[in-house]
Amino acid sequence: MPVISFANAKGGAGKTTAALLLATELAHQGYRVAILDADPQRWITQWFDASGPQHNIEVVSEVSVASVQGHIRELSRTNDYIVMDLAGARDAMVTTAVGLSDHVMIPIQGCAMDAKGGAQILDLIKMMEEAGRMVIPHSVVLTRVTSMVTTRALLTIKGLLAARGVNVMNTPIVERSAYREIFDCGGTLYSMDAAKISNLDKARENAQAFAGEVMRLLPVKVIRTSQPRRLFRLVRNAA
Ligand SMILES: Nc1ncnc2c1ncn2[C@@H]1O[C@H](COP(=O)(O)OP(=O)(O)O)[C@@H](O)[C@H]1O
Ligand SMILES: [Mg+2]
């Protein structure tokens, strides 16, 4: 049951958007997903309150340094993935969450070039890895990428980060109005009206590609039953 957190010390990097896109896409594909809303601004909680019950998704708010490990233990019994949204900070909550994650996603705006907030998380991870003699798998996700950003520019950023030994997700999160609408209207890319939202099909494709990459990185063993939406986890070493 992978725990995936989204961290960048700065606000506005696209953490909450990427976290929600991943969670709703995994849920759409039949996985049971818990979102831990560890940002005191509670954007995901507000989205959930505005959306009403969502198939395969539960949201836990009021997450603290003291409670996060217990939440993860509890939620892992009934979920396939846990997605954690964090505040734009480098504080005790972010440090704790990073230490408990199976993979840390670091969203960085592809066009802004202001990668300082992301670099702070990369430094934090390095420090924790050295101090704790452990490995914290992590990847940079380029976000809000527009058609103005050329493939060559993206490859340059990837190259720079690769030189530092940082993995960059192949799928960037593209700038799409649909991704803003989710927070304004509630629901998911699949409950929206394609007639009202421009390029909704492209937004869905992008979210699918991103979630597909995450699933390949962090696979969950499941047995599909005759009901396509219900999934059961294989119990490892079961008799
Ligand atoms: N891919 C995107 N396309 C369109 N708008 C986006 C995208 N990513 C983020 N935004 C917008 O940018 C702002 C900041 O994004 P958000 O996900 O809240 O960042 P963070 O959680 O890092 O503070 C929000 O208004 C959000 O709607
Ligand atoms: Mg946020």
**Can you give the residue range of the structural domain that contains 81?**
3-236
* Residues flanking ligand 1, CB < 6 Å: 8, 11-17, 88, 143-144, 173, 175-176, 179-180, 183
Ligand 2 mean position, distance from CA 146 (Å): 20
- Please give the Cα distance from 214 to 107 (Å, whole number): 14
By DSSP bridging, strand 167-168 and strand 138-143 are parallel
Question: Which CATH number goes with the domain that contains 228?
Answer: 3.40.50.300
**Total domains present in the chain:** 1
Q: Are 65 and 42 in contact (CB under 8 A)?
A: no
How far away, in angstroms, is 108 Cα from ligand 1 center?
11
Model pTM score? 0.92
Q: Which of ligand 1's atoms lies nearest the C-alpha of 11?
A: 23
Tens digits of residue pLDDT in 93-137:
999 999 999 999 999 987 655 678 998 999 999 999 999 999 999
For the four alpha carbons of 228, 24, 37 and 13, in that order, the dihedral sign comes to positive
pLDDT in tens, 171-208: 999 999 999 999 999 999 999 999 999 999 999 999 99
Per-residue pLDDT reduced to its tens digit, 8-28: 999 999 999 999 999 999 999
Of 55, 10, 8, nearest to 187 (Cα)? 55
**Buried/exposed 160-175: b ≥16 CB within 10 Å, e otherwise:** ebeeeebebbebbbbb
Smallest Cα–Cα separation from 40: which of 77, 94, 120? Answer: 94
